[in-house]
Amino acid sequence: MATIDPGFVYRFEPGADAARPPLLLLHGTGGNEDDLLPLGQAVAPCAALLSPRGRVLENGMPRFFRRLAEGVFDENSLISEAAALAAFVREAQARHGLAAPVALGFSNGANIAAALLLLHPGLLRGAALLRAMVPLRQPPSARLEGTRVLLLSGTADPIVPAANSAALAEQLGKAGAAVTHHALPVGHGLSQMDVTLARNWLGAP
C-alpha cells in the first residue's frame, strides 16, 4: 500500500507482461484498494494493476465522489474528484513507468471512470464499466476516437435503470468511442458473466 498526492491510498501490482496495458481498478461504494485486485487478476492475467481508494467518505464508506441521494450525483464533487484522480493516474504512470491504463470500474468506480473519459479524454486507453450510470447531466464535448469501452449493465439492476445505461452507451458512442454494451440478466452485483465478458474484451485486439 502506498500514497500519491493528491491523497490517494493505492495498491500497485507490477505486471509480468509488458504488452498488456495496465488496469486502473476503481471500486464501488464501501470498497477499498484491495477489493478489485482478484477481479483484475482474473480478467487480465499478467497485467499491471493500479488500484486507488476513493477519497470521499459516506457514512465511513469510501467513494470516489459525493452523491446527494441514491442515483443523484453531486456533480461539483464528481468534477473535482475526477480531476484529482486524473492527476493521480498521471503521477502513478510516471512513478511506475506505466502506459495509458484501461479502467475497470464497478458501480461508483464505473461512474468515475465514465467521468474520466468525458472530462479527461486521452487519459485512459479504454474502460470496462460495470453497472455505470450517466455521470454528468450536461457532459462536455469529448473526442474519444480510438477509445474502446465495454459497458455491462444488469436488466434486474434496482439502482441503474436500463434507459440510463442505454443513454450512457449512446453518449460515449456519439463522442467517438467504440462501445460494446451488454445487458445481462443480473442485478447490481457482479456475476461470472461479467468476468468472462471483461476478460474476452480485454484480450481482444
| CA gap 144, 157 in Å, rounded | 27
- Catalytic residue (choose from 107, 153, 165, 194): 107
Residue 168 has pLDDT above 80, yes or no: yes
Q: Choose the catalytic residue: 35, 153, 157, 165.
A: 157
The verdict on whether omega for the bond into residue 6 sits within 30 degrees of 0, i.e. cis, is yes
Catalytic residue, chosen from 74, 77, 188, 191, is 188
Which residues 6+ apart lie within 8 Å of 173 measured at CB?
Answer: 179
User: Quick one: CA dihedral 176, 66, 198, 202, positive or negative?
Assistant: positive
Q: What is the pTM of this model?
A: 0.95
Is the pLDDT confidence value at 6 over 80? no
Sole residue written with cell 452523491: 67
Share of the chain above pLDDT 90, in %: 89
Q: Mean pLDDT check: name the lowest of 27-31, 108-112, 201-205.
A: 201-205
Amino acid 205: pLDDT: 62
**How many Cβ atoms from other residues are within 10 Å of residue 183's Cβ?**
15
Q: With cut-offs at 50, 70 and 90, classify the pLDDT of residue 3.
A: low
pLDDT in tens, 46-99: 999 999 999 999 999 999 999 998 888 999 999 999 999 999 999 999 999 999
C-alpha 105/C-alpha 35 separation (Å) is 11
CA 118, chain centre distance (Å)? 12
**Which CATH number describes the domain made up of 2-203?**
3.40.50.1820
DSSP assignment of 20-76 equals SPPEEEE--TT--TTTTHHHHHHHSTT--EEEEPPSEEETTEEESS-EEETTEE-HH
pLDDT of residue 5: 60
Is 157 a residue of the active site? yes
* Contact between 172 and 121 (Cβ < 8 Å): no
Amino acid 40: pLDDT? 97
The domain spans of the chain are 2-203
Instruction: State pLDDT tens for residues 16-56.
Output: 998 899 999 999 999 999 999 999 999 999 999 999 999 99
Is the dihedral angle over the CA atoms 195, 186, 178, 147 positive or is it negative?
Answer: negative
Residue 70, pLDDT score: 83
